[in-house]
Amino acid sequence: MKKKRSPKRHRSLAEYKGLAVIALLLITGGAFLAISERFAPLPEEVPETTQGTSVYSQFLLEDLFDTLERDYWQPNDEAVYTDLFGRALALHAGVTPPSSTRSSLLETLEHVFANTSTAQAIALTKRMAGDILQALPPEGRNDLYTEQKEKSLWDNVKNIDDSTDLYEEIDVDEEASTEEIKEVIEETKDEVAAILESDASTEGEKQAASETLAKVERAEKTLTNDEQRVQYNTFGTESTVYVEKINDDVVYSKIKIISPFTFQEFIRYTDHFPTGTERSSLIIDLRGNVGGYIDILPHFLAPFVGHNQLAYEWYSQEEYTPFHTDGPLRESLAHYRTIIVLIDSNSQSSAEVIAASLKRLNKAIIVGVPSRGWGTVERVFPVTHQFNPDETYSFFLVHSLTIRPSDRQPIEGRGVTPHVNVMDADWQDTLRSYYPHEPLIDAVENLY
């Protein structure tokens, strides 16, 4: 069945540009770096723009400074940014602007760049921009992006792993039928089980078998569903949603991340899944979900509550922007008597918005522990004045905070509090008080 596949297509950065707004946690660390480097005067000419200002100053002021004033989530305060830029300049060039004004900052920057080589000017500009972005609150959420870093971001958001070919992982050809793929997966699982259960297997053999099982289960989630497989073949995106029936009354749905395709995947599975009994329940597992593509949330939440319901808000520069659900109620979800949403301390960003919205709208019982409380919305902003001929830069910037719909408080630093905290000794009784149905209680208990 195995044939040589054609080389995997590598997507260009331009193919990711349609994903403009994301809510994705990236821990990039650090505020101001503990580096100080002095620049000695060198005769090399510094490139100038038509306005007579170096491209390095234009990048720092007309791109970065102006973008912060216009698009950063905190209230616009030129004095704060001028001080921040001045401290970065003092740290890396050993020069302090004579006054806390933009004109003084520009004058000092031009003096420094006029007395540095091109290589030094590029290095200084890059370090200053990176440190300024890293220092902005919430610390470590903003960054200076290269093209490769931006591509990696979109890969993460879309659940694309260019380093792995799922067909090769299970040793089948891309043209194999779904039934053939299922057959190979089941055969491999049987072989793995035999190794794991055999007393004659060495620890090394069992470890290798466990790694094989993980690869097979990963491929199974994407390649055994025809529509999902077409999506993978076309875009390289793996499934973000996994659904199974735990018992006659309970359907379980694990959502790995929130990608641009998660809504379609979730509806695809729930629309075609058997409805079960009159007391059927749905468990949505958001544990470990780091968020992702926030733009789909008005569509994702609509099937639970209907069209034009207030779902959540964003806060930016002292203004609130409401977001309403966009779409009709879904019959495939309406039959569930109870919906449980599982969260943990690693549930964050878009996942927290889902939990908070369903909680306020009384559409789900939230079970777990308080979520992480990382409620920032980031976006990649383009740069006009590129200062490095060997690289293209952009800004990864927090432009809004997500607001809990229940009390209009930021999710940032607060998270989402569950109805039922599984750290409590009597949490099963608490869950039972919301919905006294033992098959559901047992299902949730087994997941913990």
pLDDT tens per residue, range 434-443 = 999 999 999 9
Higher pLDDT, 191 or 26: 191
Higher pLDDT, 190 or 100: 190
Q: Which long-range contacts (CB under 8 A, 24 or more apart) does 124-127 make?
A: 124/37, 124/39, 124/56, 124/92, 124/93, 125/56, 125/59, 125/60, 125/387, 125/388, 126/388, 126/393, 127/33, 127/35, 127/88, 127/92
Rounded to whole angstroms, the Cα distance separating 42 from 148 reads 32
Rounded to whole angstroms, the Cα distance separating 119 from 125 reads 10
Closest CA to 171 of 186, 159, 185: 185
Q: What is the pLDDT averaged over residues 366-395?
A: 96
Residue 39 has pLDDT above 70, yes or no: no
pLDDT tens per residue, range 12-24 = 555 444 433 444 4
Residue 8 has pLDDT above 80, yes or no: no
Tokens 């977001």 identify what position?
323
Percent of the chain with pLDDT over 90: 81
pLDDT tens per residue, range 99-155 = 989 999 999 999 999 999 999 999 999 999 999 999 999 999 999 999 999 999 999
3-state secondary structure (DSSP) of residue 366: strand
| The dihedral sign for the CA sequence 301, 303, 305, 307 | positive
Which domains are present in the chain?
44-139 (no CATH), 162-237 (1.10.287.110), 240-447 (3.90.226.10)
Res. 37 pLDDT band, cuts 50 70 90: very low
CB 427 within 8 Å of CB 448: no
Q: Which long-range contacts (CB under 8 A, 24 or more apart) does 33-40 make?
A: 33/127, 33/130, 33/131, 33/134, 35/91, 35/92, 35/127, 36/91, 36/92, 36/94, 37/92, 37/93, 37/123, 37/124, 38/93, 38/94, 39/93, 39/94, 39/112, 39/115, 39/116, 39/120, 39/124, 40/115
Q: What is the pLDDT averaged over residues 253-266?
A: 95
Q: Where are the alpha helices (DSSP H) in 115-225?
A: 118-135, 147-157, 166-169, 178-197, 203-223
Q: What is the pLDDT of residue 23?
A: 41
pTM, rounded to two decimals: 0.86
Q: What is the pLDDT of residue 47?
A: 42
Tokens 């004058």 identify what position?
107
Q: What is the pLDDT of residue 50?
A: 43
Closest CA to 63 of 144, 136, 131: 144
Residue 78 has pLDDT above 70, yes or no: yes
Res. 271 pLDDT band, cuts 50 70 90: confident
> Lowest-confidence range among 13-27, 74-88, 399-413?
13-27
Sheet of strand 365-368, all strands in order from the earlier edge strand to the far edge: 241-247, 250-255, 281-285, 338-343, 365-368, 420-421
CB 16 within 8 Å of CB 151: yes
Q: What is the pLDDT averaged over residues 281-285?
A: 96
Q: What is the pLDDT of residue 279?
A: 67
Q: What angle do CA 235, 239, 241 make, to 5 degrees?
A: 145
Res. 51 pLDDT band, cuts 50 70 90: low
pLDDT tens per residue, range 210-220 = 999 999 999 99
Rounded to whole angstroms, the Cα distance separating 388 from 112 reads 17
CB 246 within 8 Å of CB 263: no
What average pLDDT does the chain have?
88
Rounded to whole angstroms, the Cα distance separating 337 from 334 reads 8
Residue 42 has pLDDT above 80, yes or no: no
Helix, strand, coil share (%) of the chain residues, nearest 5: 40, 15, 40
Higher pLDDT, 9 or 138: 138
Rounded to whole angstroms, the Cα distance separating 285 from 364 reads 12
Residue 31 has pLDDT above 50, yes or no: no
**Bridge partners, residue 410, by sequence:** 403
Which H, E and C letters describe 277-295, residue by residue? CCCCEEEEECCCCCEECHH
Q: What is the pLDDT of residue 127?
A: 97
Q: What is the pLDDT averaged over residues 150-178?
A: 94
Residue 372 has pLDDT above 70, yes or no: yes
